[in-house]
């Protein structure tokens, strides 16, 4: 519920950087940062969708990559609807 995620309705799945593999060229994405500049919000230069983010935040375990699961091409709407939900309070670091 930080200002960025609440406004973009990001459904993130966090993984450690070593578990993440980008399937497009990184030059196809751009970066947005705000606040403490601890996170990078990567988005597609062509369509503007926020596909993933990465950074380092000690409160969530250090280095992370947060994947916007709604941007995964091979996931059906039914699969998205059946995913477990974990509510996070990013605004208050809970």
Please give the average per-residue pLDDT across 22-47, as a whole number: 85
Q: If DSSP codes are grouped into helix, strand and coil, which group holds residue 43?
A: strand
- Residue 50 burial by CB count (10 A; 0-12/13-18/19+): exposed, middle or buried? buried
pLDDT digits (tens, 9 = 90+) for 47-76: 888 889 999 988 888 999 999 888 888 888
Which pTM value belongs to this model?
0.72
C-alpha to C-alpha distance for 74 and 64, rounded to whole angstroms: 23
Whether the Cβ atoms of residue 51 and residue 71 lie closer than 8 Å to each other: yes
């Amino acid at each position: 519920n930080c200002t960025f995620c609440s406004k973009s309705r990001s459904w993130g799945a966090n993984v450690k950087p070593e578990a993440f593999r980008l399937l497009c060229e990184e030059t196809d994405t751009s970066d947005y940062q705000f606040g403490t500049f601890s996170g990078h919000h990567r988005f597609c230069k062509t369509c503007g969708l926020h596909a993933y983010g990465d950074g380092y935040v000690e409160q969530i375990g250090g280095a992370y990559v947060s994947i916007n699961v709604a941007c995964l091409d091979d996931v059906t709407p039914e699969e998205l609807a059946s995913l477990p939900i974990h509510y996070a309070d990013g605004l208050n670091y809970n």
